Structure 1
Amino acid sequence: MGQEYIREGKRFLYEESGIGVVEIILILVVLVGLILIFKKQLTSLVNKTFTNINNKAGTL
């Protein structure tokens, strides 16, 4: 059963009709751009989340 998954994974990696390098780079550029645009909001959200986690963990 495990060998079958490995063969399918190798076939998927070497298949020519998959996503090209250019498409992957474009997706990464868009993601990095969005992160830079919303950096302040994301930082605030993450800080609030961890603060809540720490506060609730202290009450256990």
Structure 2
Amino acid sequence: MRGLIGHIARRGLLQCEKGATAVEYGLILALIVLVLIGALTNVAERTINMWDNVEQKVTES
């Protein structure tokens, strides 16, 4: 077991931060996706309301 730990330490794998960086990028991407979903939901609601108003105006005439 000591040989394995020594080998890992020599190769610099204990200080490797690639996994942490990947997790950080994943969290940033998830946050961006959530913001996009929220923005698109807001735009969709406004668009639906706009077309509902158009429909009401057309049926009233």
**TM-score when normalising by structure 1:** 0.39
Larger Cα Rg: Structure 1 or Structure 2?
2
Q: Could you say which structure has the higher helix fraction? A: 2
Normalising to structure 2: TM-score of the pair?
A: 0.39
